Structure 1
Amino acid sequence: MDHCSYCYTNLVTYFVLFSILCCQHLSNVLVKVEARAHYHKKKGEKSSTTIAPSSPSYAPVPSSDAPDPSPTQQGPCIFDVTSYGAVGDGATDDTAAFQAAWKAACAVESSVIVVPSDGKFMITSSIFSGPCKPGLVLQIDGVLMPPEGPNCWPKSDSKKQWLVFYRLDGFTMNGTGTIEGNGHKWWELPCKPHRGPHGSTLPGPCDSPAMIRFFLSNNTRLIGLRIQNSPQFHIKFDGCDGVHIDKLQINSPENSPNTDGIHIGDTKNVGIYNSMIANGDDCISIGPGCSEVDIQGVVCDHSHGISIGSLGVHNSRSCVSNITVRGALIKNSDNGVRIKTWQGGSGSVSDISFQDIQMENTTNSIIIDQYYCLTKECRNQTSAVYLSGVSYNNIKGTYNNVRSAPIHFACSDAVPCTNITMSEVELLPAQGALVDNPFCWNAYGIQQTLTIPPIDCLQDGMPLSLGEAVAGC
């Protein structure tokens, strides 16, 4: 009995004939299967790409396109969604076909679900659950999209998420296709305001679905896809361990609200490489409970920059550690690299490194904001998330704010920021005169080299008290 026939013995009769045909003609099917090698860099490991300190720039991370050897002599088994009834005309609901293909492939080791390049496949809100057999790949070469706008969204479906991948291990999503979010009508819902053209304010989303969510999944890989126009966050990782992202393109308009490119929360061992993100909110956002995150070779355009936070909302405890951002280009953005926390929180942010970053036409290039608040009713409190060990090295470029300096360290009254390190920081105005009065409040650290603009407000040494700071996150 050949490999694939054995794989399908326990599947429903309807799919047996397809499975046999699939594997008999496997040699005629071209499938790109990305390598499944372990990806995460060891702590402290140096990249093979370096940037001269005098000229930071976008620095792609070397990566290999070579596929793994076939898992068996006959290769992986292919599950084409059209063989399960998917039409791919952009109008027919293909959800049932995708769920059937997933169920069949999930039971087979080293299987590939193929979304062919000649189709536009519409599916409704769906959860693709594991555990599955090892080596499952979803290869999207066509277009995959949700219903168009809130009026077409099935009433029985969640309006908080579209594609959910749950309890998977060793799952890969790749391909040459596009995941289209059809977000335009969601952005017009009358809730949170957002930026409109020519400085105007437009209404924003109420309940709007995140486009792709990975929940309690480990060793996940996203390679080479184009993801665009999400109603809300493009990609979210919650409670995951082991994420590798390489060569993604994420695109949404500048005025699309809450469209974070990549958001991670309660997730560790993350690598984000060689990706281009243009969107209307944080390019990459790092939430509570994250550690061991390596971001390299990323381009952020017309976004809110790369953010840690917000942390400590509703007096919660937040712990973030060992985050490295390097070799990035951030341009035309409200913020460059930012850490934001609410008053009244607890926990800590530690061992954060921003290095070799080029800024082009940013507003707040370097910012720590421990007074983050969305209304005018927030009050100062006696506890805060403790920030310590934040370094800024070889960060250069231009800013567009003619009213305030591009460096802003607003630390809590009760819990000072400590061990801030500045080296080779040179930020010049895109036009006009240099704004040479950076803001510091309760911030302690050192300048290893003179900065432009000078940051004489950074206090030497350590404070006499850390207030109610809680150590041991």
Structure 2
Amino acid sequence: MIKPFIISLFALLMVASYGATGKMLFKELDILGKLENLDVPEDDIEDDVTFFDFSSFTSQYSGKNLVNVDSFNASGDGVSDDTQAFIRAWTMACSAPNSVLLVPQGRSYLVNATKFDGPCQEKLIIQIDGTIIAPDEPSQWDPKFPRNWLQFSKLQGVVFQGNGVIDGSGTKWWAASCKKNKSNPCVGAPTALTIYSSSNVYVRGLTIRNSQQMHLIIQRSTTVRISRVMVTSPGDSPNTDGIHITASTDVVVQDSKISTGDDCVSIVNGSAKIKMKRIYCGPGHGISIGSLGQGHSKGTVTAVVLETAFLKNTTNGLRIKTWQGGNGYVKGVRFENVVMQDVANPIIIDQFYCDSPSTCQNQTSAVHISEIMYRNITGTTKSSKAINFKCSDAVPCSHIVLNNINLEGNDGKVEAYCNSAEGFGYGVVHPSADCLYSHDDKSLNQTDQYLAETIMVEKETENAHDEL
């Protein structure tokens, strides 16, 4: 509590001493305080739940009810249809407390599109050690499930874990995409794994690969923890987002490696309190908030933190994307401790996003973007515009904060571009972001000097406190 108090006191003294300048600096410190104290969940997933160690499982002593899909006549040969065996195993595991639904290692199970609905009895574990394979022929896909392959809904307190693989067999789906061939119709494709309308869900250790479209969706859910997940598909596979979070709150994604043909992580409307930590991304389109606001819709995302990430050979780095004509807001986002290697568009806000075969018309309304921090962002970029804030003239981006940014171009030339973007920087900011404007027309150098003085006061106070 001492540090915020000192910052506030010092800022008040500055207001009294320096008038308008002090007021501006007080406002900037207030923004920094908000960004430092975003309401996001803790990231120590292992402390939240004691995971079941299947390697030490013995039905005699564990107190667990083992439900093996093989006990329901699953073939496990990767050719025979094992859908009904999975449905029967699910019905039994869901209805009994302390159940472990086992997909055994060393075997491959062909499963058609299925919804596994709850609610279930308490302490259900889905142990995936083998491989689950989707049918590979789009023309034979069940029309009742156009956008889902494996969907789990209305669950509470469920753990998905194991060393197994969920394989979407997406090659033919990608070839049929309009993004691969403009003569193809633009239609949606299934998501490999969907967790819908659930709470207190843990996903750990799984590999999800070659999804027809998105790999893992967290939708209308709360308190979800994802760790040590690997997502992989070719860099040219269309719309294959790695982890997609929509209308969900209190979500942590950590210690995961994601290589896809679209966003490694995408966070869209109705999502809040999202924490990402130790994320490897590449290839792919980077870490994205959005898109939001398509078709004049309202989009809201708030309280998002990315802490520690490595992005390699991605088409974007840290991106916020919104459509013209939308409304709503993105507010309270902190990207920090990110290393980039050969990334195009490392830092980008795009309020003119248009993922459409036809030209998007200019419109005045826009999703408001404010209180966005980029801190400790380093590495190399393929593009000359290492920092690119393309914001709406009617609804400008506000309170953008840059701190310790060092991005180098492969040819040695990098620049920052701003349109209708207001904010400030301190510490090293390279390329220089002088294009960010302040409502009080104060330069970044003034802000930098003031914040440096404030940090010195904080350190002196902390040292004095430590000696007591």
**Interval containing the TM-score (normalised by the shorter chain):** 0.7 to 0.9
User: How has the CA–CA distance of structure 1 residues 281 and 116 changed in structure 2, closer, same or farther, with 3 Å as cutoff?
Assistant: same
Deviations 1:146-173 (A, max 9, x none): 112214434x542321001111111111
Residue 160 of structure 2 corresponds to residue 178 of structure 1: no
Contact 2:295 2:325 in 1 (8 A): yes
Q: Distance in 2 between matches of 1:79 and 1:253?
A: 34
| Residue of structure 2 equivalent to 1:417 | 397
1:107 to 82, 87, 95: 95
Aligned-pair distance for 1:317?
1.0
Aligned-pair distance for 1:392?
0.4
Q: Distance in 2 between matches of 1:204 and 1:395?
A: 40
Residue 334 of structure 2 corresponds to residue 353 of structure 1: yes
Aligned-pair distance for 1:66?
6.1
The alignment yields a C-alpha RMSD, in angstroms, of 2.5
Deviations 1:250-269 (A, max 9, x none): 10000000000000110000
Q: Distance in 1 between matches of 2:317 and 2:86?
A: 40
Deviations 1:182-231 (A, max 9, x none): 1111110152337xxxxxx9969733211111111111111001110001
Count the aligned residue pairs. Answer: 400
Residue 361 of structure 2 corresponds to residue 379 of structure 1: yes
Q: Distance in 2 between matches of 1:342 and 1:451?
A: 28
What SS is found at the alignment partner of 1:275? strand
Q: Distance in 2 between matches of 1:96 and 1:113?
A: 14
Out of 67-76 and 90-99, give the one that drifted further. Answer: 67-76
Deviations 1:2-53 (A, max 9, x none): xxxxxxxxxxxxxxxxxxxxxxxxxxxxxxxxxxxxxxx99367778xxxxx
Residues 33-44 of structure 1 mapped to structure 2, 5 A cutoff: 43=39
Deviations 1:263-316 (A, max 9, x none): 011000000000000000000000000000000001001100000000111111
| Residue of structure 1 equivalent to 2:412 | 433
Contact 1:418 1:462 in 2 (8 A): no
2:375 to 383, 393, 396: 393
Deviations 1:77-110 (A, max 9, x none): 1000000111101111111110001000111111
2:230 to 235, 242, 249: 249
Q: Distance in 1 between matches of 2:440 and 2:363?
A: 21
Aligned-pair distance for 1:412?
0.8
Q: Distance in 2 between matches of 1:398 and 1:307?
A: 19
Residues 242-321 of structure 1 mapped to structure 2, 5 A cutoff: 242-321=223-302
Q: Distance in 2 between matches of 1:326 and 1:275?
A: 13
State TM-score, norm by structure 1. Answer: 0.80
Q: Distance in 2 between matches of 1:136 and 1:275?
A: 23
Amino acid of the structure 1 residue aligned with 2:365: S
What SS is found at the alignment partner of 1:99? helix
Residue 79 of structure 2 corresponds to residue 91 of structure 1: yes
Q: Distance in 1 between matches of 2:140 and 2:178?
A: 19
Aligned-pair distance for 1:126?
0.1
Contact 1:204 1:257 in 2 (8 A): no
Aligned-pair distance for 1:240?
0.7
What SS is found at the alignment partner of 2:427? coil
Deviations 1:362-420 (A, max 9, x none): 0000000001112453222221111110000000000012xx31110011110111110
Q: Any unmatched runs of 5+ in structure 1? A: 1-40, 49-60, 195-200, 464-473
Amino acid of the structure 1 residue aligned with 2:422: Y
Contact 1:222 1:246 in 2 (8 A): yes
What SS is found at the alignment partner of 1:280? coil
Q: Distance in 2 between matches of 1:462 and 1:170?
A: 51
Q: Distance in 2 between matches of 1:314 and 1:64?
A: 39
| Residue of structure 2 equivalent to 1:51 | none
Contact 2:293 2:367 in 1 (8 A): yes
What SS is found at the alignment partner of 2:145? coil
| Residue of structure 1 equivalent to 2:189 | 208
What SS is found at the alignment partner of 2:71? helix
Contact 2:177 2:238 in 1 (8 A): no
Question: Which structure carries more helix by proportion?
Answer: 2
Contact 1:193 1:204 in 2 (8 A): no
2:124 to 136, 150, 155: 136
Contact 2:246 2:269 in 1 (8 A): yes
What SS is found at the alignment partner of 2:430? coil
Residue 354 of structure 2 corresponds to residue 367 of structure 1: no
User: How has the CA–CA distance of structure 1 residues 435 and 290 changed in structure 2, closer, same or farther, with 3 Å as cutoff?
Assistant: same
Deviations 1:329-361 (A, max 9, x none): 011000000000111111111110000000111
Contact 2:125 2:160 in 1 (8 A): yes
Amino acid of the structure 2 residue aligned with 1:289: G
| Residue of structure 2 equivalent to 1:164 | 151
1:146 to 123, 134, 147: 134
Aligned-pair distance for 1:433?
2.4
| Residue of structure 2 equivalent to 1:117 | 105
Q: Distance in 1 between matches of 2:183 and 2:295?
A: 28
Q: Distance in 1 between matches of 2:123 and 2:246?
A: 25
